[in-house]
Structure 1
């Protein structure tokens, strides 16, 4: 019997970032990587992340959240998923202010008609915090490129940790960048010992960034909240924008405010319910040779 068989799930999305919510607070089962990969199949229940809710560890929080990618690996943060579970919990309890906890820290969320705001904490810019494989002089631009050596398509990214490692490549024409081609290579580059989320970002104006994201463990995605936060703070850090920007992703817009008073990143955007159901053995059982641990 599959570990998660017969468990209820809720399918949601944040800007097209496909999220499965598993509320395991009454039965704190692990999410086996093989079952996650089986579930993520295109003909089953494709998702970018599972947000698995476990009994709270800290007073005042609603749940401890584990974030599982489509490839079965675990992530430290998922901004779009955080907004989804905030809406889920608000719908379940009627409370418009909820706090969760993850390996990256506390996630303070407010649900309002104009959008859901999640406090994503403070960014970390030290090479060892990201982490990188070794010291670099300045994480605002590191030596890394993709494409032909004589004419690289992507080069000198800003790097930052916003719950996950992120590399942001600044480009002049985002539509000309085939991130699906270069994303896998860069995600697994030796400079990133824990892999990294790879973004191509075009600064349109001091308050507007257009972003494409290759997400660690999920691939090309319509939206990635932590990547939007990473791009926003990195752009402000090198003087390309102010501290409050709109980030446009293929799935839509997020408003990112890098609060000056305490350096916390506030992300505001939508989340929606799609459907719910129960996991079955067939959904969780991969064919022979697929999804093995």
Structure 2
């Protein structure tokens, strides 16, 4: 499946426990010798009895992820196709970072309550003395000014004038791995077109540059909203397509809306991943 180009392998683990090891996940994620994906998602019975299902998330390198905005929309569309989620129904499902609420507008358009952004450094986590609208780090002998937030996973967002600047190709991986982020970070580079329109590229920890990052779109909007630079409803344009992000500010949940698409399905024996 994919959500505006952010692509996933979705595994039905409702009756069979997820048992892949990191090396097997990497083998499945290889785009030349496996299937290929930005993240692998498992759909499982809930751990939290207040939720209908649980979904796990793993990056291409086999590392776990706490949240995936484009992925949760695909989970909702998958559950609808499986007969477990009706159009218009509000359903709470459990992510590694906690419950989220989803609602299908139709079979391929999903709105997700992504919760409230977390700006406190300890909750990101970010090594900083206090919460601020702007932070600075030195990367590749240049000072980068960024905002930081957690949307269930850590994000650093840098405002730029040109998303085609070739320097970003090197700065993205360096910011992702910067020592200021104890668990790494998704590095977003955002261009503000106007108060209701952003353009964005994201280098994701564990996956690299992706065509779209749902939590990255949420993070960029939230950080600029905190600074008073955008409205309560914003279109975020990524290389793979557009998302709508709605947030009224502190004390309110942030909502993300966008498409989810099926690409193909099949079966792969676990024994094929042992090598």
Give TM class, smaller chain: over 0.9
1:1-293 alignment, distance < 5 Å: 12-43=1-32, 44-93=34-83, 95-96=86-87, 97=89, 98-113=91-106, 115-133=109-127, 135-149=128-142, 152=143, 155-260=144-249, 262-281=251-270, 283-286=272-275
Query: Contact 1:139 / 1:160 at 8 angstroms: preserved in 2?
Result: no
Query: Contact 2:226 / 2:249 at 8 angstroms: preserved in 1?
Result: no
Stretches of structure 2 that go unaligned for 5 or more consecutive residues are none
Higher relative contact order (CA 8 A, sep 6+): 1
Query: Contact 1:63 / 1:100 at 8 angstroms: preserved in 2?
Result: yes
Range 96-105 or range 16-25, more displaced: 96-105
| 1:73-125 Cα shifts (integer Å, max 9, x gaps) | 01111000000010000111151233210121111111113821011111100
Query: Contact 1:243 / 1:258 at 8 angstroms: preserved in 2?
Result: yes
| 1:7-27 Cα shifts (integer Å, max 9, x gaps) | xxxxx0000001111111101
Query: Contact 1:179 / 1:212 at 8 angstroms: preserved in 2?
Result: no
Displacement of 1:173 in angstroms is 1.5
Q: Distance in 1 between matches of 2:228 and 2:31?
A: 41
Aligned pairs, number: 270
Query: Contact 1:132 / 1:193 at 8 angstroms: preserved in 2?
Result: yes
Q: Distance in 2 between matches of 1:52 and 1:178?
A: 36
Note closer, same or farther for the CA distance 1:39–1:283 as it changes in structure 2 (3 Å cut).
farther
Q: Distance in 2 between matches of 1:129 and 1:80?
A: 22
Q: Distance in 1 between matches of 2:224 and 2:212?
A: 18
Query: Contact 2:116 / 2:250 at 8 angstroms: preserved in 1?
Result: no
Query: Contact 1:110 / 1:118 at 8 angstroms: preserved in 2?
Result: yes
Displacement of 1:281 in angstroms is 4.7
Displacement of 1:30 in angstroms is 2.8
Q: Distance in 2 between matches of 1:261 and 1:163?
A: 16
Stretches of structure 1 that go unaligned for 5 or more consecutive residues are 1-11, 287-293
TM-score, normalized by length of structure 2?
Answer: 0.93
TM-score, normalized by length of structure 1?
Answer: 0.87
| 1:122-174 Cα shifts (integer Å, max 9, x gaps) | 110011001013x333332112143443xx5xx11000000100000011112
Q: Distance in 2 between matches of 1:68 and 1:140?
A: 30
Displacement of 1:280 in angstroms is 2.9
Displacement of 1:72 in angstroms is 0.5
- SS of aligned partner of 1:82: helix
Displacement of 1:177 in angstroms is 4.6
